Amino acid sequence: DAKTTQPPSMDCAEGRAANLPCNHSTISGNEYVYWYRQIHSQGPQYIIHGLKNNETNEMASLIITEDRKSSTLILPHATLRDTAVYYCIVRVEGDNFNKFYFGSGTKLNVKP
Amino acid sequence: DTAVSQTPKYLVTQMGNDKSIKCEQNLGHDTMYWYKQDSKKFLKIMFSYNNKELIINETVPNRFSPKSPDKAHLNLHINSLELGDSAVYFCASRRAGEQYFGPGTRLTVT
């Protein structure tokens, strides 16, 4: 019941921008898009989230298409420490709950 | 000063045994979760509690029973362990839209 699809892996040169795509074609109007990453087997770490507008923080930028069916996470200057699995997630909100549906993740390999 | 902690970090046990995994958060969050990550790294939600009340219970065998003695703790008890239960189990707590994950418990059933 994954709500997102991601490429299994991507390579990026150190210092370059990493652009990670995600498709969420069945997303509903009030469902947020989240990105987390997992380094080795540590707990996933929050990166960024958004609903309709593009978002930017100190870690990354999130570009969401106008129809909201896809998004791109941008790491502007990738470093070796950004090598990780990046998960695109849809958050479904109910009356008293929030469910986070993780995609299968993209393994980003940052190379020197 | 770890935000979300889990014990144990590793757990190796035999089929048929009963085991528990503990989770504690010191962030003052009201909502906590248990996730299972299988060998293909797919993370799937299992349970969620809000202020000690069960609010999400996904399609999980009833051998799995979460317990929340207070809102800072969410433990997971597993009865009659099976080989397919081998996975990494992550606890998380949530404030507003952001979840904070624990370091995970790697469960191996032999």
What was the pLDDT predicted at B4? 96
For residue A56, the tally of other CB atoms under 10 A from its CB is 13
The rounded distance, in Å, linking the Cα atoms of A100 and A90 is: 6
Residue type, A4: T
Residue type, B36: K
Residues of A with CB below 8 A from B97's CB? 32, 34, 49, 91, 98
Residues of B with CB below 8 A from A33's CB? none
Tell me the per-residue pLDDT of A72-89, one tens digit each, with 9 for 90 and over: 999 999 999 999 999 999
Helices (H), chain B: none
Tell me the per-residue pLDDT of B55-97, one tens digit each, with 9 for 90 and over: 888 878 899 999 999 989 999 999 999 999 999 999 999 987 7
Helices (H), B9-110: none
Asked whether the beta carbons of residue B42 and residue A41 sit closer than 8 angstroms, the reply is no
Tell me the per-residue pLDDT of A48-57, one tens digit each, with 9 for 90 and over: 999 998 999 9
Asked whether the beta carbons of residue B42 and residue A49 sit closer than 8 angstroms, the reply is no
Which residues 23-82 of B have a C-beta within 8 angstroms of A?
31, 33, 40-45, 48, 50, 55-56
> How far from chain centre, in Å, is Cα B84?
16
Residue A87: strand, helix, or coil: strand
* pLDDT at B1 > cutoff 80: no
* pLDDT at A95 > cutoff 80: no
